[in-house]
Amino acid sequence: MTSTASSSPTPAIATKESVAKLFDYFRADLDDHNDRRERLIKASRDVTNLSKKTIFLLHRIMMEDPEANEQVLAKRAAHRGHEKLREVQNIYATLMEELEGDRFWRYQRQVSPGLQEYIEALSFAYYLEHGSLITFDGVQQTLLNPQGYFPLTVSDYLLGLSDLTGELMRFAISGISRRGGQKKATEVCAFVRGYFERFTPYVRDLSKKQSVTSQSLEKIEDVAYAIFVRSSEYDIPPEMLDDIVAQSISSYSGSPYGQEHRGRPGRRIDDVTDDDQENDM
């Protein structure tokens, strides 16, 4: 009896060991959480950078040759854009294991910014090619990989589409001096007014982006209105009308890529740092 009692651990020692094991488990779980979070933030930054480069590429191709047929340029731009976005789709394919089960909702705020930027670039390429909005199912199909569909929420879809209005504004204004540019600006204006003013306000952060949408729409309307009024009221030669167009463009955009970043006036996209993006996450 004495030897048996002396060889068995006391309750205090057993409790101490079990608590230590429990805290070791908590430590490992927190380390795993922090490591996964950092990997997702880095991946989201990579997606954001690739998506922005795709948007720049689309604008650049559309402005390459002022005399070229717009439909030909749009097809070429969309093709190049979809090729570039395959890099983003490959990144999302590698993230499937990181977001299995309920992990997606735990890390949704880390994934969402890059996903919205991807949808913005994808929808811009789709608009150039088809002249319409890409559907939710259309976006989901681009995120299909051998492991299944990458998770996509309706809120991310709507927020990504809302960002598209800024690119449409730059596309309309920068191309308004092209042959047929005035008609295209009117079409873009009607497109933005018809689709984006009906977005539901019951999505987090959508109201902020909708205010930027209203500003973009106002800029397109002002330029289109100025050109229409000048060309209808006065019998002016085309070169003088081009001067008016140039003045209007310089007043509103300054470049086809704009001076704004997600509703932050006065900041170029190039000025956005990694710290800014991490704060957004």
Backbone dihedral angles phi then psi of residue 188, each to the nearest 5 degrees: -65, -40
Instruction: Kindly report the pTM of this predicted structure.
Output: 0.75
149 DSSP β-pair partners: 144
Place of tokens 């932050």: 264
Amino acid found at 260? E
Sign of CA dihedral 65, 68, 70, 75: negative
What does the block give as tokens for 73? 């340029």
Helix (H) / strand (E) element for 148: namely strand 148-149
Q: Report the distance separating Cα 269 and Cα 97, nearest Å.
A: 31
- Which of 81-87's residues contact partners 24+ apart within 8 Å by CB, and which partners? 81/54, 81/57, 81/121, 81/122, 81/124, 81/125, 81/128, 82/125, 84/50, 84/53, 84/54, 84/57, 85/50, 85/51, 85/54, 85/118, 85/121, 85/122, 85/125, 85/142, 87/50
| 224, part of any domain | yes
Please report where in the chains the tokens 């490591």 appear, as a residue. Answer: 35
Q: b vs e for 215-253, b when ≥16 Cβ sit within 10 Å of the residue's Cβ?
A: ebbebbeebbeebeeebeeeeeeeeebeebbeebbeebb
What's the token pair of residue 86? 């395959």
Domain range for 191 is 20-280
Per-residue pLDDT in tens (0 to 9) along the chain, 281 residues = 444 445 555 665 668 778 778 787 888 888 888 899 999 999 999 999 999 999 999 999 988 877 778 888 999 999 999 999 999 999 999 999 888 888 888 899 999 999 999 999 999 999 999 999 999 999 999 998 888 889 999 989 988 998 898 899 889 888 776 766 777 888 888 888 877 766 666 667 777 777 777 888 888 888 777 777 766 766 666 556 666 665 655 565 444 444 444 443 333 334 444 444 444 44
93 backbone dihedrals φ, ψ, rounded to 5°: -65, -35
Count of Cβ atoms closer than 10 Å to residue 214 Cβ: 14
Kindly state the tokens that stand for 165.
């209005």
Reading the block at residue 56, the tokens are 């720049």
- C-alpha to C-alpha distance for 85 and 142, rounded to whole angstroms: 9
Q: Report yes or no on 2 lying in a domain.
A: no
Answer for the pair 274, 113: CB distance below 8 angstroms, yes or no: no
Q: What pLDDT does residue 9 have?
A: 57
- For residue 5, tell me if it sits in a domain: no
Residue 108 lies in a domain: yes
In this prediction, residue 43 carries a pLDDT of 94
CA distance linking residue 122 with residue 144, whole number of Å: 14
Nearest to 125 by CA among 88, 63, 186, 83: 83
Number of structural domains (the chain) is 1
Is 14 domain-assigned? Answer: no
Q: Closest by alpha carbon to 211, among 222, 221, 199?
A: 199
* Within a domain: 103: yes
List 261's β-bridge partners, or say none. Answer: 264
Check: CB of residue 117 under 8 Å from CB of residue 66.
no
Please give the single-letter amino acid code of residue 236.
I
* CATH assignment at residue 87: 1.20.58.2140
Amino acid at 126: Y
